[in-house]
Amino acid sequence: MALHNRIDKRILKEKMQHSSEERITISFYKYHQLAEPKAFRDELYTLLDQLGVMGRIYVAHEGINAQISAPKANLDIFREKLYSIDFLNGVRLNIAVDDNGKSFFKLKILVRKKIVADGLDDTSFDVTQTGQHVNAADFNKLAENPNTIIIDMRNHYESEVGHFKGAVLPDVDTFREELQIAEDLLKDNKDKNLLMYCTGGIRCEKASAWMRHKGFNNVFQLNGGIIEYTRQVKNEGLENKFIGKNFVFDERLGERISEDIVSVCHQCGKACDTHTNCKNDGCHLLFIQCEECAGHFNGCCSDECKEIIAMPAEAQKELRKGINKGRQVFRKGRSEKIAFRKVNHQSSTIL
């Protein structure tokens, strides 16, 4: 059996879009010392592939970080098989709150140096000394305390479309940058309540331990992140303090949490929070685009890219020759082509 996908992604995407199979989008993570990440990766791939699971999973010596979708019919057996793995027994499964079942179209499991790229030397501080985990109700209480600073530990393109009321929103591209910016912004507030949050909780596990290491005395983190917060708010009838969309790293690109639209179309400036990727494969810029602009620009970020995708496929390939096909192609929300971008100025000043 092949331990990776061999079918063209375009075929898989088309198949996924037309499938009527009910699927559940799930995320989970666990910090745990794995002696043989590659062997674990292969065993996990075999197990999940047999259950029809799709998604993107990172495995490293420090543990696992997974975003997947499972067939609804196989959900119970998936949970049973996952929990049969000793260190994953009972791991919290974050179930998507706004799910069309079209989040992933293939299974991809990668072995990496870290399950989240944080740029930290884990031997320089105690990564187990995390902040105090809080549920939705306690998060709301802390948020209302005037001695609390709420900080978003996500990237700018995530917080642009949705965030907690009153949160500090650092204008950063990566989690690695976020840690340094957060430390610098908050350096004069080490005795205040530092209330951190991210999508599913994994970034705050490392970030809260780092901030405690740097001398912050009252560090709290939202247990399960925005996804679990939303579930608890709905189930317990709590006030929802999150406005807008929760950005997610799959085909959906966002979960609707509240009806508020806090961002604008990057091309015309109209209220909009729909992320998309430029249809020009040589650009693939992640940006916000309304329906009208999507029609006008044919799904592209600019007239230039619109003209390129109108060319024959071979001509487009010729233009892409020599372009770095790595991570730099998939830029996120920053380009000279973006005419409108709503920047939150809370990132520069802490009162």
- 105 and 157 in a single domain? The answer is no
- 14 and 99 in a single domain? The answer is yes
- 128 and 82 in a single domain? The answer is no
Q: What confidence tier does 331 reach under pLDDT thresholds 50, 70, 90?
A: low
Its domain, for residue 55, covers 9-111
What CA–CA distance (Å, rounded) separates 321 from 4? 27
Give 277-324 pLDDT, tens digit per residue: 999 988 889 999 999 999 999 999 999 999 999 999 898 888 887 665
The model's pTM is 0.89
- 196 and 137 in a single domain? The answer is yes
Instruction: Please give the positions annotated as active site.
Output: 198
Residue 245 has pLDDT above 70, yes or no: yes
Q: How much of the chain, in percent, has pLDDT values that exceed 90?
A: 76
Write out the DSSP string of 57-126.
EEEETTEEEEEEEEEGGGHHHHHHHHHTSGGGTT---EE-SS--S-S-SSEEEEE-S-SS-----GGGS-
Q: Indicate the residue among 91, 111, 131 that finishes a domain.
A: 111
For range 140-150, the mean pLDDT = 97
For range 246-253, the mean pLDDT = 95
**Residue type at 130?**
T
Q: What confidence tier does 344 reach under pLDDT thresholds 50, 70, 90?
A: low
What CA–CA distance (Å, rounded) separates 99 from 200? 15
- 134 and 59 in a single domain? The answer is no
Q: Into how many domains does the chain fold?
A: 2
Q: Give the domain CATH number at 181.
A: 3.40.250.10
- The reported pLDDT for the residue numbered 329 is 46
Q: Indicate the residue among 239, 254, 289 that finishes a domain.
A: 239
Between the alpha carbon of residue 95 and those of residues 25, 28, 145, 277, the distances in Å are: 6, 9, 29, 25
Neighbours of 25 (CB within 10 A): 27
Residue 291 lies in a domain: no
- 105 and 126 in a single domain? The answer is no
Residue 337 lies in a domain: no
Q: What confidence tier does 351 reach under pLDDT thresholds 50, 70, 90?
A: very low
Residue 270 lies in a domain: no
- 58 and 24 in a single domain? The answer is yes
- 168 and 188 in a single domain? The answer is yes
Residue 330 has pLDDT above 60, yes or no: no
Q: Give the domain CATH number at 84.
A: 3.30.70.100
Residue 14 has pLDDT above 90, yes or no: no
In terms of Cα–Cα distance, which of 216, 223, 340 is closest to 289?
340
